[in-house]
Structure 1
């Protein structure tokens, strides 16, 4: 086990350790050391211990894809051997086209910073996908609008996203300015964990460099959005855990160009709360809110109290979620899960 140079050990709580994880320990586990997974690669993993970064030893045939950055693991202190993973409080994952199992993005995240920028990359429909994902796993979502210094007025951009979900925090900032840390301080207290998600080129790496006060030698590589199509370039290629100002931890993630939705029925109800609350007033319990008589949702559209575009986006995500969510098929006692395939 390779530790950083000797330093005063941190309290476990400063790494995000809570009673939720402590309650999982057995008497035998007390001889092991809790650590937090910091990086996951195909054949190696590293962790953050109370003394600093550690390169973990993993047993033969270990599938590192079963571990997520942010996981709590128990490690043999003399050998650095990863012994077992503790149950997660939250897990952010996504299904990929043709994938048999979900791809793990980050674990034990308190707040999800959904990063977009004040330019043509801002796409409310895409942001709704991230919001539904955050809602489903119980992580607090915050919309972070970067490149605020490059527009004359951020108000139009903030107005586009403020109504996407009730009580949704929206913060506009310059990711390269020191003040960015102050804007995000309410979610970055000691022991808190935040994850950065969003498309490539929107400023996630720049924001991480600012929050962590990284030197030029330590800084994550950054890229810009192309002027011709407002698309970003990938600069972060793997997920990683970083300590930041205020004592919090940030999980940086590669840019996600396409985010399929699946297994997020609760998350959609939170995202589209105004539709979920109207639905019980429909005449038919299985109303699709499309053409049925006595539909309370369509009545709200007709009355001008519900945006029809909002209803259409709800319907699209609902259909995609139903299509992409694996279901048990086959005879009783011998059911199998129908794999995620191409969505309609």
Structure 2
């Protein structure tokens, strides 16, 4: 598994951006569907860690030789003090796959960028920090798009991982802890069932599925969550969509909307540019999650917007301040705005 990190980053550094692997490494071995260890030591932890690695590769696929069990439900750990397996939805495997599908809008937008520039979603750290000697031969971590850094666990039973964070400010995905870059940190990795190193780069704008899906196209994409971590310098992200079936995007039949953010003192300005392209998606709303000091007031296009009582009441345009359980309950302001229109959101924060 560890060798795949080197192979992927070497291939991408040479220009082969659409790299993939057989997640699980299923070849010339015996697997047991009851989740027992195999004859060469592969079991539930190995499979879960490999899945947590694979969701941050350009093409995510679980594959192997014929006759080898490779489906996730064959690697569900048993309940404590029981011979029965856990519910699939309570496993690290399920959480990893769910996160990959939540990130599909982010991934697909980066595929549009790759089509334009030739640079794919996975990037060796030296792409963005070429002057930093600490990342010159770093194969432990990589950028997953503009705003995420993945550093998967690829050693069996590893309890702690030393991770080098390049210059800048970073937020731990699950715990929400803020980390200063330009240094090496120790990340506790002992709990393999729900803990893997993933970091958010300051300035991030990350569009994500609002609802969980089992496959692309399962539900109409009418709303997106936009994870925002404002920086003091202006940052942007181009959200992209098309019909997903034809080459009509080459004729201008696509949807592209530039999202930008900047924090200045106690003010955060989030802007949505007018859309480009002739494709009309089903998208109706962005729920923008602006992390950092919470808002005391919000203006939409220069007009004050009322605060709603709770998230369930955020059904139209509006806002509410609270905590984000997806990122360690850090402070966040939820602002729901209409998509497919030019918008300007101004937060006055604490």
Quick check: which one's helix share is greater?
A: 1
Question: Same-fold call, TM > 0.5?
Answer: no
TM-score w.r.t. length of structure 2: 0.25
Structure number with greater CO (CA < 8 Å, separation at least 6) is 1
Quick check: which one's strand share is greater?
A: 2
